[in-house]
Chains A and B, each alone.
Chain A
Amino acid sequence: MSEAYEATSEETGRDRLADDTLIRRIGEGATGLFAAALLGFLGWILVTQVDYRLLASVFPRFVEAFRLVLFIVVVSSVLSVSLGTMMGLARISASPLTSRVAKGYVEFFRGTPLLFQLFVIFLGIPRAWPFGAFPVGDWRIPAAVIGLTLNHIAYVAEATRGGVNAVADGQLEAARSLGMSRVQAMRKVILPQAWRNALPAIGNDQIILVKDTSLLTVIAVPEIMSVFRNVNSNQFDPWTPLVWVCLFYLAMTVSMSLLVSLLERRADWDLDDDEYSWVERLFGSGSGLGRNR
């Protein structure tokens, strides 16, 4: 240490919290404790609170509910992503009418609770018909799909808009200076890049869509939470059916995550996929940051 600082440094020294190794150890310690507590709790539940006979006997009902939720998720997901990207493009349209209407749509469906939207669609729409004349026999599932789709269109639209905004201005300039029309520039240059940018946000939103299906219980859709409530209220046992709730939701959200991960890697033109094994391709995120830098 140079003489200029020697005198005072001896007294104060470097701040202990600046020590990388120390902080890391503290972090590892806290994480270890947390993990141990969580596993302990989980173990206690599985050993003392779960009735395995009941677990087996209610399984078929959960499977049926799971299949219904899967159907709703697939339909709503496809619709919300495709229509949502269009709404996102409307949002950034050069036409003031289009962009304002799209902005209003997004504000409304993002700004009000999904529960509210489900009620309006499920309870409100049939009222527009005279008593008993509503043509749809079982309105619960169509209402569920419509509600989830309309809601998530708003989020996908915003993710798309963010993705487009993240594309450098120079890209549009270069495309247009070649003589491309705005539409051509969007289709061939901007949108492919915007899609890659928006994919994480869109994937995130779709995972939320899976969990949003739990709200459908309030419009009497016989999905996973409804089965749980039924078993719980009749058998007075919450932990046992909760095991299935947890597993079935995780099955869907983890699959969705993997799918998004795969799509992200495929959309990433900087990544040379041949370098990685299929395991890495499926479970890796494609960005190299953070690994022992």
Chain B
Amino acid sequence: MRRRKYLKSIGAGAAIAGLAGCSGGGGGSDTATGSDDTATEDEADTMTSTETEAATEGADNPYDIEGGVVTIGSDIPYNPFEYRTEDGELTGFDVDIAEAVFVDQLGLEYEFQTSAFDTIIASLNNGNFRVIMSAMTINDERDEKVNFSDPYFTAYQTVLVRSDSDITAREDLRGVAVGVQKGTTGETAAEELKNEFDGELEIQSYDLVAGAFDALLNGQVVAVISDNAPSAEFANQQDNVRFLEGDGEAAEQGENAPSYLTLTVEDYGIAFREDDEEFLEAVNEALAAIRDSGRYDEIYGEYFAG
């Protein structure tokens, strides 16, 4: 009889623990909030959400945002768009844009949530977060699954090599190994290149872009195909890598082409679920507003000088 009661009490305890777990909300998210309590005094001024805190019901919450906090799915880190400083503070271009759009313009709070990049769209559609801000390129395949805001950044796929390598032109990539990040347009660009080379290209796909960079330093790959911004960040930190030079897509399109080779010209957008049209429109308006007000250029200048 003693054993019976013991078993029953374990069962009850487990049930209670289970319920407690459920009501606590999804755990494991790597968050940085727009109203972080641990913010230092210096930063308190920039986090002005308290002035315009949104109520959670009725006409004050037209987009049905839970708790007034917009959850943002993102592949962190991805310098310089979303990454952590040594103190663990989340910062970056996407973070500052989020601040400008969601807090300043829309009077909401925001919270970044880490996701693997190659499953981030599935996660969005499963409802794990409200939007995606992850230096995400707008393209047709993705457009079938999500809706994108107006573009808020222009990027290029670039090729990064070691300084001492003898690769100087795009053709030299034939027959070598290149590193990319899983699920990115860089991976797609590499696959197109492979087709162009009749299969003479080995593609190594890493979970994080940092993995591809490591592989470059370790001599596992000869080049990394990735967006220009993180590659530039990396090239600045390291003395021994350089961009592949040449005229590419950007030059062809007559854009203000950079000196390095561009395999593609891409626009980043904020991704929404396909039934989230009202919120998308509001965000588009906010984006337009921050361009007009000059706030966009301020933020741009902080991260991309010249």
**Chain A interface residues toward B at CB < 8 A:** 123, 126-127, 131-134, 137-140, 217-218, 220, 222, 226, 229-230, 232-234, 236, 238
Contacts and interface: CB of A to CB of B under 8 A. Distances in A.
Given A133-B219, A134-B219, A218-B207, A232 B162 contact: no
A238 B126 CA distance: 13
A76 to B, nearest CB: 20
A131 B145 contact: no
A230 B191 CA distance: 12
Contacts of A132: 162, 164, 217, 219, 240
Nearest to B117: A233
Contact of A238 (B122, B162, B179): B122
A138 B220 contact: yes
B118 A233 contact: yes
A147 B129 CA distance: 36
A219 to B, nearest CB: 8
26 contacts: A123-B214, A126-B220, A132-B164, A132-B217, A133-B219, A134-B218, A134-B219, A137-B220, A138-B177, A139-B218, A139-B220, A220-B179, A220-B205, A220-B206, A220-B207, A220-B215, A229-B119, A229-B182, A230-B182, A230-B183, A233-B118, A233-B182, A233-B183, A234-B188, A236-B144, A236-B145
Interface in B240-262: 240
Contacts, number: 64
Contact of A232 (B119, B206, B218, B240): B119
Contact of B141 (A123, A140, A226, A234): A234
Nearest to B180: A220
A230 B219 contact: no
Contacts of B240: 131-132
Interface string B16-50: 00000000000000000000000000000000000
Given A229-B183, A233-B183, A220 B204 contact: yes
A222 B218 CA distance: 19
Q: Which of the listed residues A132, A134, A232 has the most CB atoms from chain B within 10 Å of its own CB?
A: A132
Q: Which of the listed residues A131, A137, A217, A234 has the most CB atoms from chain B within 10 Å of its own CB?
A: A131
A232 B118 contact: yes
Contacts of B118: 229-230, 232-233
Nearest to A222: B205
A139 B214 CA distance: 12
Contacts of A222: 205
Interface of B: 117-119, 121-122, 141, 144-145, 162, 164, 177, 179, 182-183, 187-188, 204-207, 211, 214-215, 217-220, 240
Given A134-B218, A230-B182, A232-B119, A220 B141 contact: no
B115 to A, nearest CB: 12
Given A220-B204, A230-B205, A236-B145, A126 B182 contact: no
A236 B122 contact: yes
A134 B144 CA distance: 44
Contacts of B164: 132
A232 B122 contact: yes
A123 B122 CA distance: 29
Nearest to A134: B219
B5 to A, nearest CB: 15
Nearest to B208: A218
B120 to A, nearest CB: 9
Contact of A131 (B144, B211, B217): B217
A119 to B, nearest CB: 10
Q: Which of the listed residues B122, B144, B179 has the most CB atoms from chain A within 10 Å of its own CB?
A: B122
A45 to B, nearest CB: 16
A234 B140 CA distance: 11
